[in-house]
Every structure is written in structure tokens, then in C-alpha cells.
Amino acid sequence: MSSDRVHRHRPTNEISTCKYSVFTFLPRFLLEQFRRYNNVFFLIIALLQQIPDVSPTGRYTTAGPFLIILFISALKEIFEDVKRKRLDIKVNNFTTLVLRNGRWEEMPWKDVTVGEILKIDNNHLIPADLIILSSSEANSMAYIETSNLDGETNLKIRQALPETSELTNISKINEFRGEIECELPSKHVNNFTGTIHFQYNNISKPLSVNQLLLRGAALKNTKWVIGVTVYTGHDAKLLMNSRTAPLKRSYIDSMTNNRIIVLFFILICLAAASTLGAWIYGLNLQNAWYLGMIGKNSLFWDFITFFILYNNLIPISLQVTLEIVRFFQAAYINNDIDMYYQDTDTPAIARTSNLNEELGQVKYIMSDKTGTLTRNVMKFKKLYVGGKSYGDDISEEFNDQSVLVDIENNIKEAEIIKEAFLIMASCHTVVPEMNEYNDNSITYQAASPDELALVKGAANMKFIFKKRMAKTIEIELLENNETFEILNVLEFNSDRKRMGVIVKNNQGHLKLYIKGADAVIIPRLSKNTPKNDLDNLNSHLNEYANKGYRTLCFAKKDLDEVYYNTWKNKFHEASISLENRQEKLDEVADEIESNLTLVGVSAIEDKLQEGVPDTIASLLEAKIKIWILTGDKKETAVNIAQSSALFSMNSNILILSGKTYDETSRCLHEINQKVDEFKKNDMKFSLVVDGTCLHNIITGECRTEFLNLALQCETVVCCRMSPMQKSDVVELIQSRCNHVLAVGDGANDVAMIQSANVGVGISGAEGLQAASASDYSIGQFRFLKKLILVHGAWNYNRSVKVILYSFYKNICLYLIELWFALYSAFSGQTLFERWTIALFNVLFTFWPPVILGLFDRPVSENQLINNPYLYKGLQKISFSNLQFYTWIVMSILHSIILYWMSYGFLYNPVVWENGRSGGWLMLGNSCYTFVVVTVCLKALIECDSWTWIIVIFSFGSIYVWFAFFFLYSLVWPYISFGADMSGHFWFMISSPTFWCAMILIPLTTLIPDITLKCIKFIISPSMCDFAKIQDKTGDRLIIYPLEQQFDQHSSVSYRQQTEHINFNGVQGEPHYSTNESNEKTFLKNNPNSSPTYGTYIPSSVLTSDGGYVNFACEDNDAKFEISQLRNILHNPDTRI
């Protein structure tokens, strides 16, 4: 088997993750840039300006800034691509040992080709996807760590086929003849289908993922392995999984595009109206032959002139401003120490910055359970076997000595108890490692926390899993070592939901041991299973699940050797099939996994993560609905929902069930009738639905009916879900609401995370698959609170202000050209000098929106954390149509005031230092100055929290304009342009009239803004306004919105805990329960009566009701007018 003859004709292992090359950069970059409509628009404007005698603003006033913006974008792309290129060079030049010319040669990774023989040493990375041929370890086993691939740090076993395990030296490798046939390259890291054909005996053997060493994995605890490359370069599974996540577009971006379209039509209308004005003026000037206007009236070219003149109504710098703001907003998230998880050294990571503001608009959260809400640190707690339940709820580890007592006393059930612990100790993929310093110590490496918990639980009862070899495992049974031959492994997957092993013990008995979810094990039990046993099993399943434990059923089957041999041949045929191998293997496994004998059921505890109930309570208070999507059974999922405070104290829980579509449809109809009653009585309700029922709904005709029901629920728990069903649920909700966030921690959550508007991955025990596929990753669920309520709220509010402010400042300046057109006979003459027009966005007013987007805080962090409902309030006051058109109207009003007041102050009566009265350019420069001052002050008015950096950059922008104006007034005649501007700076600043106008005009312009803000605060203050007052006064009151404390009736119930939920209903019928518990009643104040004295409320609350405020304290409830409240806030010593 020589690699010399193949390496010259096979794909190489060189990789390139670069987006561009020297030759493709320009076309690919430009293609990407001009997919954006605004860039196409400005390109058209730049081209139109090149037409002689058409552009009123010069040839380069759009092209110049546009090229600067493209240049900045190009630098960003080049910078990122250079980093990728450097990393590629580094990786491609890693070295490995390759068998060439009859010896091991050290070669760069990039020179490795398909079919070559490689030797990998311990702790080295694997350079390509290899089939292991042999290793230094017994039975040709090898241990790899795949943290670079999936984030899992536990060791995994790979094992060569016995037929190739002797290929340990060069001479044997050269003598070997064989051929490997494998599937086409795919991105599925946990699946591989191949066959090796041996020429010396014409035998074929199946190859699976157990023989596959993946590129990027590290060899551990193994001196060396020898393997043959099957996939190299971009065909390797690691590279095939390196594709970027689906491109997501934020709601803000979509709305901004819609606003730009509106402005584009306004631009068309203005250009058309001005063209009409020019035509009318042209008719009146037909007899004025001395003006030379006869024959020069062209509607088309006039339209193009005005189209160019007004083009800056659409801000050219908006996109680059947003990119800068989003980049630094993402940096804030990445460097937030409050979201750093020290235990695993995991910071929060924003993997995309395009969705920062989407975090501020979340209405639904779809959450996985295991590893997301829970710790995914499993503890084996209980075992039901032989009619008895062992273990307790208190002990940290399973250590029920009555198990050993019952076995030693050889009670009737002793054998079945042994079988249960044998299943726990043998049916798994755990790898044991002996401690080099203590022979009695074993460390287990497990891919699944459940398996680790079971193996440790068995070890505590003296069923110690000690060694794993090629085809055998060694277990210490009650201090006696016994070896079991592993004949076949029926692997677990999310569709099968079970795992089985066929073993042969020392006595030669063949047995199938199997564990899995009760939903797949119970239907496979023998029909002769006593009904009493099934009833007891279901009773203990429900008992364990109601305590929040994860449950697994154990079963076995004694196999006849003749039957097994027949089945083994079928299994072998399926295992070497290159087409639909997994489906064929599952089909053959189904055949043997029948007529099982019940052994028992285990209970595994998975505790809630720290801070989960508090986080969920805060998110619910922010009016965000949370759904749980889990693969666990119904009772377990509901228990976790209760313990995590997902169900409110007085919520009625509805169970939607049904094995068939008809049953599901009937149940759904009955639940909807019950919901109508709940709604009439203003009662809350939640929904629980399982995967079978959901499949009937999604594939049936009642999708809309279910969706209408689900959207009315306080929360929904979906259990027994497959990964694709999770994604289906997300897409179903998105058909009605485009603000869905999905959060999960495992590979089975990737589809859901990528389908959601925002995907959040948790770096957990199940690896980094979810985190890598997400838009944002965090270390714990509790960090979602700050990510959404603080960063999300701030980013949304900031980005909206950036967009609205950018529209405002452009309309404010460039609409002045329309008012000037009334005095210039619609000639297309500009009021402002062409380069001041070009630099308005990219220099003089560039920083105010950036600073607003980075440092403005509508509400303080403490207020958002302590009063989560403010999150909803900030959504209402941001990017609504009312807000947009309010800004547009104010920008139009400002442009009118700025132009007409400037005209009245400066045009005719002023004589400048040069002895002349003001011309149009002097008026233009003065008016331009007033605009710059006004828009910079407007930024301060719109800012919710003044800081020194905001003030500096706002006034600094005004200074930049004066500095530029000063220099521009001096450049002529030293350079060939700017002659018209020569000396204007000195003329302007030497005029007292100018300085008087500079004080009065901007202040007058901003009076409507200030007035509106004051009126709004006095007449209809928001809860955010009260939060700001508290921040400034240091008051310690906690604000709550009125509807949170009182319902529409005269009283409302406050329940402290949930006691019981009834699940004992008939299949296909709805079940509901009302949680009855400790109840306290508080009376709502009547606005027309004196305060009602009532029961103690745990915290002081302050609520807004129109122009009044309801206040509740320990002894009484009170009602104040808002003016009274201000006195209270400003005078903390005021007695109530």
C-alpha cells in the first residue's frame, strides 16, 4: 500500500478561508457593495454629476464622499481577510509525517493528498480526515479530543479494524493491498459510511465513524497512530462545517430600507415640483430675450438637475455610521464582565453585530431545557427495579446500601437488580482512565452526562466499569472481575432515542441490554409483561418526573445463538451498505429490539442553573413570553417549568394531547372552548403539548387554530421534541411575530438557533455546536437577563436614534435648497458651496450620531435590571411610524426656520467687512453654520444621559466646521479651487449681526423640540421618565406599571406558590387545573375615593395611571397627582 504513486494526482490538503484573492477582490467587493440599494443610488448620482452643465453641485461632491465610504469598507474587508490569510499560511505549514519514498518524511500539511499514509504522534493535531489503520495501543485503539470541532473536552475512542491493526511498520504497510470506498464528503461529523476491500482474501469490512480521525482533532493518551487520508483540504468535515451561519437581517434594517424608499419618493416629488416651477418660470421669461433663456427649457434635464440637488436627503453616511456603532456595541457585549462565566472561562461573545438592536425587540424566547435552564451536571438519584425504589432525594450521590443487602441476601429480585446495574455499567460509550498515581482511582470520559451519571452510580454499588478494549469490556462485579464481549453496539441517535449493546458473558450467554426513553422502550416490551408491572413502572415514572428527574427505562433480551447469527448477517449487510446505511441499520436494530423484558427505570437529577428563576421572572415582567422546547417527557418538563417560575402563581395549565390527528383536533377544539371561559373571567392559562401532538398539528390543517391558541397563552411547554420540531415551532411563531429569540446549548438546538430571528448559544457540557452556530453566545442562561434587558434595550434605542438623527440632519440641511429655489427662479443654483455640501455627513456631523449610538443611555442599567417592564416601554417609544414622521416634520420645520430667519437677518441689511452687502454664498455659509450648530445641539436635546464625551463631541463637531471654514477661506489662490470662499470666514466672524443670529436662530429653531418634550413630560410622562427622575434624585422607590399590580376587577389575588397539577386525564382530552394556595387580596384604589387600607405588600411600589400615580406601602395605598409625586421625590423626608 504505497502512497508514492497517488499523491501527485489527488486533491491537496491546502486550505484557504480567505474571502478574496488579489484578482477577485475588486469585482467581488464591488458586487457585494452594490447589492445595497443605497450604494446603487449614490453611484447613479455620482455618474449623473459627470454630465456637463447638469450637476449644480459639481462633479465630485457625491463621488468623493462615496469613494471614502467605499474605501473604509474596503479597508475593513482587507483587514479581516489578511487575518484569515495569515492564519491559513500558519495552518498550511504545520508539519506531519508522511510515508514517501519508503520512509517517514516530515511534510507541510498543505502537501498531503488523498490516499497517503500518515503517522500522527501523541498530542499532535490531525491534518486531514483519516481512517485509522493501527495504533500504539492494545487492540489498535486511539483516544482523540474533539474540542476544536464540537467543544467537547472528553476523550473519544477510535479503533482500527482487526484486519489492519498489524500495519505498524513500513514493510507491512508496503506489502498491504486494499481499497477504501467511502461516501462523498459531507459536513456530518458524527456520521461516516465507508467500506474497505481486502485484496488478499476478497473480504469487505464496513468503516464507520469509529474508524474516522477528523482533521482538527488532537491525539491524546496514544503514542502514535497510522492512518490513510480519505478527505483533504476543503473536503474535510471540519472545513465543510466552517460555513457562515444563515444571513439574518434585523427588523431595524428592514424598516430603515422602507424609510429610505419613502425618502426616495419624497425626493422624486421635490424634483418634479421644482422642475414644474422651473418650467413655469421659463414661460414667464420667454420675452426676456436679454437673459439668454430662450430655447434652454428642458424638463428632463431640469429634473435631473433637481434630482442631483436634493439627493442628499438620503444620508450617504448612514450605513457606515451604523456599522461603526454596531461594531462597538458588540465590543461592549464581548467585554461585559457581568456576563463572564468564570467557572469555564467563558465570556459573552457577539458573533454578529448586525442584530444588536434585535435584542431590544424580543417578544418570544424559545428555550431548550437540559443544559440551558438546567446545569447538565447529572446525578444518579433513584432506581426502580424488582418492584422497589432505591435511593433518596437528599443524598448528593446514590449510595443506598439496601441494594447490596438485597443482593447479598439473594432475595427473589436479586438477579434483576444485578441486571439493572449491569446495564448501567455496560450500555454506554464511556472511556475509563486509570490514574497513574493511584491504581485504585478511575476517571471516566463521557460524551453524555447521563451516561457518566449512570456509570458512576453503578460503581458506587460495586459494579465498577474498569476497562474498555477492542471487543471487550471489564467490569468488577461485587469485587469479582468479569469480562464481557461486546458483539454489537446499537448506537443512540435523536430519532431512535435509545441505545443497545449485545454482549456475551463468561458463561457464553448472549444478551441484549438496552436503555432509552420510556416512550420507545415500553412499546417494545413483551406482550406477556404483567399489567401490574407496567402500572408500577408508569407510577414511578410519573413520580420521578414530577420531582423534575430525567428518566430512562432499562430492558433486556436473552438471545438464541442461531437467531443472533441470522440477525448478525443482516446487520453486517446493512453496515457495509454505502446507500442509506443508517436507515438500514435502524431497521435491522428494530427487529432485535422487540419482545423485551422490563428491568427497571432510573432517575437522574439535573438541577437548575444559578439564577434561572430570577432571570425568567425578569423576562416575563418585561412582557417577553418564554416557551420551553425539550426532548424530555411531559412531567419532567412541567416540573422544571414550575421550579423555574415559568408558570405564574395563578395560571391554569392546559394539556394538549392526541396520538392521531383526529384526537389532536378534538382536544384542541375543547381547549379553545375552555380558553373562552378563562378569557371571560380574565384568568391566565398556559399550554403543554408533546412532540406527537405537535407533529399532527404542523402536518395537519389545524396549524392556525393551534397558533391562535398558543399566542394567547402565558407560556407554552413543548415536550418530546425532535431537533427539527424545535425549528418548526420557531418558524411557526415567526409566521406571526418577527421578534423570536432561541436559546440552547447542544447540537440538537442548532436548527432552532439558526431559524430564529436571534440565536443565542450557551457554551456548556454538550460542546460548542450551539454556541458556534449562534449570533450571540453566553456561559449561563442567567446572562440572558442583561444581554436582553440592558444591552438589547440600549442598542435598540441607540440605533433608532442614529437612524432618525441621520435622516433629520440631512433633511434639515438639504431641504433648504428647496426654499432657496423659490428665490433663484428654480434655476438649480445651490445655496451652499459644493464641498461643504459633500463634507456635511462625513466630517462636520459625523460624530454626533456615532456618539449617540455608543454612549446614550435612555435608562440606567440598574433601573432596567430592577424594573424589567421598562424594556417594553422603550420599544413603544422608539422606531414607530409616529416617531419617524415626527422627526421628519421637525426637520422640515427646522429647515424653514433656519433659512427664513437667516435670510431675514443677513441677506439685504448687512454690509460685510469688504464693504459689500451679502451675496447668496455669504448667506449660504452663514445659514450652513446655523444648521451645523442646530443639529449638534439637537443631538444633546435627544440624548437621555449627558456625559462629558457626548458634550465634547457635539461641540467639537461645531469646532471642526469653524476650523475647516477658516482653512478653506485661505486656500485660494494657493490652490486652484475655493476662490468664491476666499476671505469669507473673516467677513462672517467680524459681523456682530452674524453672532447675534448664531445665538438666536439655533435657539429659536430648537424651541419647538424643547416645548414638545416638556409638554409630553408634564401631560403624559412615561415610566422611563419616572426612572430617570429616580436616577437623578437617588430615590429608592421601585417602579411597577399599574397593570402588573392590579387587574381590571376590584381585587386581585396574590398567590405565593403552586401546589398541584393534575395530569390524570384521558388521552385526547384537555386537562386543566387551578393552583390554589396561600392567597392575599389587595384592593385597587378608586380615583374618586380616599385611599383603601389593605394588606402588606412585600415591596414599595409606584405606578402610573394617566395623570395620577398609585403608591403602595406597608400600611396603605395612596393616590397622588404627578405634581405631588415630584415633591415627594425631591423631598425624601416627606411623610405619606
Cα–Cα distance for residue pair 316/796, rounded to 1 Å? 21
Range in 48-57, 78-87, 740-749, 1086-1095 the model is least confident about: 1086-1095
Indicate the DSSP class of residue 841. Answer: I
What pLDDT shows up at residue 1065?
35
812 and 885 in a common domain: yes
357 is in an annotated binding site: no
| DSSP 3-state percent helix, strand, coil across the chain (nearest 5) | 45, 20, 35
Give the strand order in the sheet containing 141-145: 155-159, 141-145, 218-220
547 is in an annotated binding site: no
859 and 742 in a common domain: no
pLDDT one-digit tens code per residue, 723-737: 888 889 999 999 988
Q: Produce one character per residue of 883-911: b if its CB has 16 or more CB atoms within 10 Å, e if not.
A: ebeebbebbeebbbbbbebbbebbbeebe
100, part of any domain: yes
For CA atoms 949, 950, 954, 955, give the dihedral sign: negative
690 is in an annotated binding site: no
Given a cut of 70, whether residue 1098 has pLDDT beyond it is no
What pLDDT shows up at residue 1097?
31
Given a cut of 70, whether residue 915 has pLDDT beyond it is no
CA 790 to chain centre: 16
Asked if 1109 and 1119 count as a contact pair (C-beta separation under 8 A), the reply is yes
Asked if 214 and 187 count as a contact pair (C-beta separation under 8 A), the reply is no
Segment 748-766 shows an average pLDDT of 84
Integer-rounded Cα radius of gyration of the chain: 37
947 is in an annotated binding site: no
> How would residue 1090 be classed by pLDDT, with cut points 50, 70 and 90?
very low
1072, part of any domain: no
Catalytic residue list contains 439: no
Q: Where a domain ends, among 993, 1019, 1045?
A: 1019
pTM above 0.85, yes or no: no
Given a cut of 50, whether residue 4 has pLDDT beyond it is no
pLDDT one-digit tens code per residue, 570-627: 988 888 787 788 888 889 999 999 999 999 999 998 888 889 989 999 999 999 999 9
The C-alpha cell at 1055 is 398567590
720 is in an annotated binding site: yes
635 and 499 in a common domain: no
Residue with cell 444648521: 931
Kindly state the greatest CA–CA separation across the chain. Answer: 125
909 and 826 in a common domain: yes
The count of domains in the chain is 4
Residue count (the chain): 1136
What pLDDT shows up at residue 292?
58
Cα–Cα distance for residue pair 589/471, rounded to 1 Å? 19
Give me the CATH number covering residue 220.
2.70.150.10
Provide the pairing of β-strand 349-350 with 178-182. unpaired
C-alpha separations of 405 from 277, 754, 902 in Å: 103, 52, 99
492 is in an annotated binding site: yes
815 and 775 in a common domain: no
Asked if 825 and 907 count as a contact pair (C-beta separation under 8 A), the reply is no
What pLDDT shows up at residue 855?
93
Segment 826-847 shows an average pLDDT of 87
483 is in an annotated binding site: no
What pLDDT shows up at residue 826?
83
Given a cut of 60, whether residue 77 has pLDDT beyond it is yes
Residue % of the chain over a pLDDT of 90:
35
> How would residue 966 be classed by pLDDT, with cut points 50, 70 and 90?
very high
> How would residue 1133 be classed by pLDDT, with cut points 50, 70 and 90?
very low
Q: Where a domain ends, among 579, 605, 631?
A: 605
Range in 109-113, 156-160, 345-349, 434-438 the model is least confident about: 434-438
181 is in an annotated binding site: no
Indicate the DSSP class of residue 1093. Answer: P
704, part of any domain: yes
pLDDT one-digit tens code per residue, 772-831: 778 899 999 999 999 999 999 999 999 999 999 999 999 999 999 999 988 887 887 888
934 is in an annotated binding site: no
Q: Identify which of 388-402, 679-693, 944-958 has the greatest average pLDDT.
A: 944-958
C-alpha separations of 159 from 137, 138, 383, 501, 539 in Å: 10, 10, 33, 17, 42
Indicate the DSSP class of residue 917. Answer: B
726 is in an annotated binding site: yes
435 and 355 in a common domain: no
Cα–Cα distance for residue pair 357/362, rounded to 1 Å? 10
What pLDDT shows up at residue 809?
94
Give the residue among 736, 785, 730, 732 at the shortest CA–CA distance from 753. Answer: 730
Residue 255, Cβ density class (10 Å: 0-12 exposed, 13-18 middle, ≥19 buried): middle
86 is in an annotated binding site: no
Cα–Cα distance for residue pair 705/709, rounded to 1 Å? 6
pLDDT one-digit tens code per residue, 126-145: 999 999 999 988 778 888 88
Phi then psi dihedrals of residue 395, to 5 deg: -60, 140
Phi then psi dihedrals of residue 683, to 5 deg: -105, 145
735 and 601 in a common domain: no
503 and 483 in a common domain: yes
Segment 517-522 shows an average pLDDT of 90
1055, part of any domain: no
1031 is in an annotated binding site: no
583 and 629 in a common domain: no
Given a cut of 80, whether residue 1122 has pLDDT beyond it is no
Asked if 12 and 235 count as a contact pair (C-beta separation under 8 A), the reply is no
What pLDDT shows up at residue 945?
85
Asked if 825 and 281 count as a contact pair (C-beta separation under 8 A), the reply is yes
Catalytic residue among 368, 450, 606, 856: 368
520 and 396 in a common domain: yes
What pLDDT shows up at residue 971?
80
500 and 365 in a common domain: no
The C-alpha cell at 1092 is 383603601
The C-alpha cell at 200 is 488478499
Cα–Cα distance for residue pair 544/604, rounded to 1 Å? 9
Given a cut of 90, whether residue 917 has pLDDT beyond it is no
What pLDDT shows up at residue 652?
87
What pLDDT shows up at residue 1131?
46
7, part of any domain: no
517 and 456 in a common domain: yes
Asked if 150 and 747 count as a contact pair (C-beta separation under 8 A), the reply is yes
Structural domain for 827, as ranges: 318-333+789-1019
Residues 6+ apart with CB under 8 A from 479: 462
The total of other beta-carbon atoms located within 10 Å of residue 718's CB is: 25
Cα–Cα distance for residue pair 1028/862, rounded to 1 Å? 11
Amino acid 427 reads C
1032, part of any domain: no
749 is in an annotated binding site: yes
451 is in an annotated binding site: yes
The C-alpha cell at 545 is 418526573
pLDDT one-digit tens code per residue, 276-309: 988 887 776 666 655 555 555 578 888 988 898 8
CA 855 to chain centre: 24
Q: Where a domain ends, among 965, 999, 1019?
A: 1019
What pLDDT shows up at residue 1074?
35
Segment 1052-1072 shows an average pLDDT of 33
Beta bridge partners of 1071: 655
219, part of any domain: yes
Give me the CATH number covering residue 355.
3.40.50.1000
Say which residue, 1023 or 716, is predicted with more confidence.
716
1002 prior amide bond cis, ω within 30: no
Residue % of the chain over a pLDDT of 70:
85
Q: Identify which of 157-166, 186-195, 1020-1029 has the greatest average pLDDT.
A: 157-166
740, part of any domain: yes
Q: Provide the mean pLDDT of the chain.
A: 82
What pLDDT shows up at residue 603?
92
pLDDT one-digit tens code per residue, 226-257: 999 999 998 988 888 665 556 678 888 888 88
pLDDT one-digit tens code per residue, 1000-1031: 999 999 999 999 989 988 888 878 888 877 77
146 is in an annotated binding site: no
Give the residue among 259, 260, 275, 262 at the shortest CA–CA distance from 307. Answer: 275
Residues 6+ apart with CB under 8 A from 166: 134, 172
- Answer left, alpha or beta for residue 340, where phi above 0 means left and psi between -120 and 50 means alpha: beta
Residue 942, Cβ density class (10 Å: 0-12 exposed, 13-18 middle, ≥19 buried): middle
C-alpha separations of 581 from 187, 206, 571, 1052 in Å: 17, 10, 10, 61
